[in-house]
Amino acid sequence: MKKFFKRYFLLERIDSPPLRYLLLCLITIISLGIILFITSLFFTGIQEGFFSRNFCFHNTCISNFTKGYSQSILILQATFILLGLVASIGGIVVALLGYTNSVSVSALGNHISHFKIFQEYLSYEINKRDRLSPSSFDIFKWYNIIFNKSRSGSTSISQDYRDLIIKINSAITESNNACSHAKSGSFSYVKHQINITTLLRDFGITHPRLPRNDYYEVEDQVFELIDNINREFCYSSSIEPLVKRLYR
């Protein structure tokens, strides 16, 4: 029966599956209601002898017809009541599903658009800096740690990213304190480089191991880049600028 309705009522041409099933349900209710009504009408007419009577449209005839077929008419009334209820509830459900689907599609479109803007901006900023290489940056990883709910339509800053900025500032502050209180040659540049390099991996940034001066030049540009990204994309007072470096 389902295949019959799909073929002859052109339901296959309807793109929305929920709407298609709602219409199929309504057609089924109407069909069953009419079948039951006609069956009741037929057997009532035979058993009550209505078919043997003369056809008339007088008020008395109509009144007798209504009384004689009251239960058959009740079936028809119940069919239309049920039809109205299913149409009302089903219409609301179909509308909600359609809205949810459109929101999901819109969220995905916004996610792709927002990531593309982020990617183009970051690539532009990387290319401006002579000590940075695009191959050292996993742009998608950086974007995802900032906007971990972007696929659902939210561009709020994740708590993980806030914590990561706090960790970098703590590492810079620790190195600043170690350097300011260090005696000649006691500041561990190697330890500092390991700490920062490890933290930057969470951004998707590969910071190479380099001689001290070269490393600091690259680090300058990386930290400047992080500050630029935070300023342009992280509209939140909880994202603070990176601490100024005092160590050398």
Residue 122 lies inside a defined structural domain of this protein: no
- Whether 119 has a pLDDT exceeding 90, the answer reads yes
| Average of per-residue pLDDT across 198-219 | 88
Provide the residue range defining the domain that includes 187.
135-233
Q: Are residues 10 and 98 in the same domain?
A: yes
Domain count, the chain: 2
Q: How does pLDDT run across 14-35, given as a tens digit for each residue?
A: 666 777 777 778 888 888 888 8
Which residue would you say has higher pLDDT here, 81 or 16? 81
Q: Are residues 89 and 179 in the same domain?
A: no
Tell how far CA 130 is from the center of its chain.
39
What is the model's pLDDT at position 31? 84
115 CB-near residues (< 8 Å, 6+ apart):
140, 143, 150
Average pLDDT over the chain reads 81
Which residue would you say has higher pLDDT here, 70 or 126? 126
Q: How does pLDDT run across 153-198, given as a tens digit for each residue?
A: 788 899 999 999 999 999 999 888 888 776 655 567 788 888 999 9
Q: Are residues 91 and 145 in the same domain?
A: no
Q: How far is Cα 148 from Cα 143, in angstroms, rounded to an integer? A: 8
What are residue 137's DSSP bridge partners? 205
Q: Which residue has the tokens 């708590």?
A: 159
Q: Are residues 102 and 143 in the same domain?
A: no
Q: Are residues 80 and 168 in the same domain?
A: no
Residue 209 lies inside a defined structural domain of this protein: yes
What proportion of the chain, given as a percentage, has pLDDT over 90? 29
Phi, psi of 10 (to 5 degrees): 60, 30
